[in-house]
Chain A
Amino acid sequence: MYPSRFRYEAPTSLEEAIALLQQGAGEAKILAGGQSLIPLLKLRFAAPELLVDINGLPGLDHLVADPDGTIRIGALVRHEHIERSTLITERQPTIAAAAPLVADPIVRTRGTFVGSLCHADPQGDWAACMIALDGSIVAQGPNGRRTIPAREFVTGTFENVLDPAEIAVEAVIPPPQGEAHGGYLKLERRIGDFATAAVAVAADLRDGQVSRAGIALVGVGATTIDAREAADSLVDGALGPEAIDRAADLAAEAAHPRSDHRGSASYKRHIVRTFTARILTQLDRSTQKAA
C-alpha cells in the first residue's frame, strides 16, 4: 500500500522526457495511466529510482485515422477514449469489442492503450488485439523514431524490446485489406478479473474471401500468443464451418496454458478453441446477412 521512495519528474517535452530516461540509466520507469505500474509500486513488486510522468507531454492524446485508413493511437489515449470513440466503433471491430472488457470502468478512465502494450502482461487485452491486427508500436528515443511490429514488441512476461531511454509514443493499426471484421471474447469470472482465457480475431474480407487474418490469445502462455497458423489457414478462402473449425483447432494448438485456480490447461485450450470458433461464426453470419 506504500510505495518505496523514488524521484519524480514531469517533463513537458518528449526530448526532455527522453533525456531524463537516459539519466535514469535503466532504473527509470515511465508513468502514463499508472493503472498497472502504481499497483506494482504499492505492492513493492517494482521499485524504480525515477518515475518520468509523461502525462504532461503535448501531442500524445490523438486517436485519429489517416486518409489511407491507418489508425493512430497516441500514448496518452485512455481506454475510456477508445471505448467511446466513434472512429473505433465504426471502423475497428476487434478493438471495439475489447474496449469495454478492459479492467473496470474506473480504471478505464485513467489507463492507457499504449501503456498497456508496454506493460506486456500476458493477460493484457490490447496486445492481443494489436497482434491480430498486424499493428505496430512507434517508439522514440535518443536516436530518433522506430516502428516495431506488435508481434515483435514483447520479449517476455512484463518485458518489451524498448531501450531504457525509449518512449512508446503511439500505436499504429494498418488499414484493412478490404472490409475490417473481427471480435474479442474474454472469459472472466467478474468485471476486472484477469482472463481465464481470451481470444482476439481480426479478419479482413474482400469479395467474400479472407484477404488478411490475425488471431491472438490471452492468458494462455508466458506472453500474448500469435496464433499465426490459425490465422493463415483462413487467408484466401471463404469463412465457413470447415474453415472455422480448422482455424479454431489451430488456435487451440497454439495455446500453451498452465493450470491454475482459474482453470485447467485443457480447459483454457478448449476455451481458446470455442471462442475462436464463436467469433468467426458470428463474423461469418453477419457478413452473410449483410450480403
Chain B
Amino acid sequence: MALVLIDGKEIVVNPEETLLQAALRQNIYIPYYCYHPSLSIVGQCRMCLVKVEGAPKLLTACTTYVPELPKEKKIDGKYDMKIFTKSEEVKEAQRGVLEFLLLNHPLDCPICDQAGECQLQIYSYEYGNSRSEFRFEKLHAPKRVDLGEHIVYDAERCIKCTRCIRFCNEVTKSGELTLIKRGVHTYVDTFEGKSLNNPYSICTADICPVGALTYKEFRFKERVWFLQATNSVCPECSRNCSIRVDTYKGEIMRIVPRFNPSVNGYFMCDYGRLVSERIKNKEVREIPSLREKGILEPRMEKGFYKILLSKITRKYEPKDVAVILSGRMTNEELESFKVFSLIVFGEILGDVLYITGEKDDILVKDEKRANYCGAKFFDLKFTKANENIKNIIKGKKLVISIREDIFKGIKEEQVKEILSSVEIFVVMDAFFTETAKMSNFYIPLASWFEMEGTTFNYDAHLQKISKCVSPPKGRKPFYDVVSLMLNLLTEMEIKDFETAKEKEIESVKKVLDTFKERDVMKGGFVPWFKEVKNAIPQLKNISLKDLAPLGFSAKGKKDGDN
C-alpha cells in the first residue's frame, strides 16, 4: 500500500490498482477515455496524462502502478509518489489530446445521439481549447455502418479507444471487432464473415464514450437531455440487472444498465434491454372486462369486482380452485395474493409457474422470471413449465391466472378442452394476451414499469422497482386490486362468510395501506417484513434468523438504490 500526494491531497494506492483507479476510488477525478473498470488497460487515449514528480515525462495514470518506496527514499519522509493533475504541463497535454481527437471529428453534435452525454463534449468544455487551429479538410471515414442487428458505427466520430473491441474480446469473448487500417485512417470493423450480434452487443454503445456506436432502437429517438431517468430492475430473468429507464412523455425511450457490483456489474443483455420494445407491440385493454353472451365486455370497475367477488368468495372448495402465479409478481404482489387467498378461499393456494430457458456464463440466468426467489421466500408452490398447465387446471372449477400468458401458442380447441370443467376463468395481466381473451373475467394490471415494488434476484438480493411511467387509471398493481376487492368485501354481504374474518380483514387492510403509501420502500425490507408478519397468522412464527439460508441479511440492505 503506497501513500501518494495528488494535488496536495493524500490518497492510498493499493499494489493491484493503478493510479487512476485509486484516484477515482478516492473521489479525485482524472479525465480518461479508453480506461473502463471492467476491461483491460491499454493506455491508448492518453487523456489521463499526469505529472509524476521526478519522472522525465508525463505518465498515463491508467497504466501507472505505485511501488512502495523504502523508508529512507520516501518523498517528504512519507510519500511514495507526488502527482500533479492540474499543472500547466498537464493542462497543456490535455488540451493537446483533445485538439488531436477533434481534428477529424465531424462535430455533428446537433444530430448526434450521444450529445449531452458525450465525453468528447464534456472534456472539450472542461479541458479543451476554445478554438481549433486546424484549417484543413477533415478526413472522411465510413459512416452508418451496420456492425450487427442493433449497432450502427460512425468511424468519423470514433476516437479509437477500443473499449468496444475489448468488450467483445474480454466480456463476451466473441471477438467480432478489430481495428483495421492504420494511422489516421484507423477504424473499427468486424472481422470478415462476422457481425456484431452477440447477446450483449448494445453494451458497446453504452461504453462508447462518444457517438460512434449507437443502437437502432434508440437512434434518433429523443435528445437525451429531455429524458427522465428512473432507476429500476430488469424483469427478464432472475439476475434482476439494475437498470435505468429513460422515459419521455410517459413512453419508455431506452433502458440502460445501471452499475451494481453485487448484481450485474456494468452490463445487461440485449434481450433484457429491449423488453421495452417488445411490450410496445403488445395488445392492452385498460378496463376490467366481463364475458357475457360469449363476448368479453368492459365494465365499470366497482360493479365488475362486486360481480366477481360474489361469484368466487367462499363459493368453491379449495380443491376446486387453481391459481397460477408468476415470477413477474413483486414481493408486494405475492404477499397481497396470500392475503387475498386466505380471505377469499380460506387458505393459501397458488402455483408459481416456473419457466426456465437458456443461460450463459455472463449475466443471463436460466430462470426466466424476475422474482422466483421472492415466491420461494413466500413459501409458494412451484410448477414447472407450461406443459403442466393441463394438470393444474384439470377438474378445477375456478381458475385464476395472474401475469402469465398460460395458453400462449396453444390452439383454441385444446384450450377449450383444458378449460372444459372450469366454470369461472379469471385472468389478471398487464397485457390483453391470448389467455386473457379466453377468460370470463379479465383484470388489467399495471406492467413491471408502471408500478412500485421490490424483487429478489436468484441470489436473494433485494432491489426496488419503480414506477417509470404511469399506467392508465384502469391498470393497477395487483396489490391495489386486492386492496380494492377487500374494501368491497367489507361492504358486501356474502352468504357463509364468517364475521370473524372481518377482523382479519381490518388488520390486513392496514398492511395493504402501507403498501399503498410505499412505506415498504422507505424503511427497507425489515420493517415491512415485521408488519406483514404481524398481519398474517401463518408468518407469525417465522423469525428473520430462519430466513438466513435464503441469503437475507438482518440489515435488510437494498442495493442499487442510489
A and B: bona fide binding partners: no
Interface residues, chain A, CB within 8 Å of chain B? none
Interface residues, chain B, CB within 8 Å of chain A? none
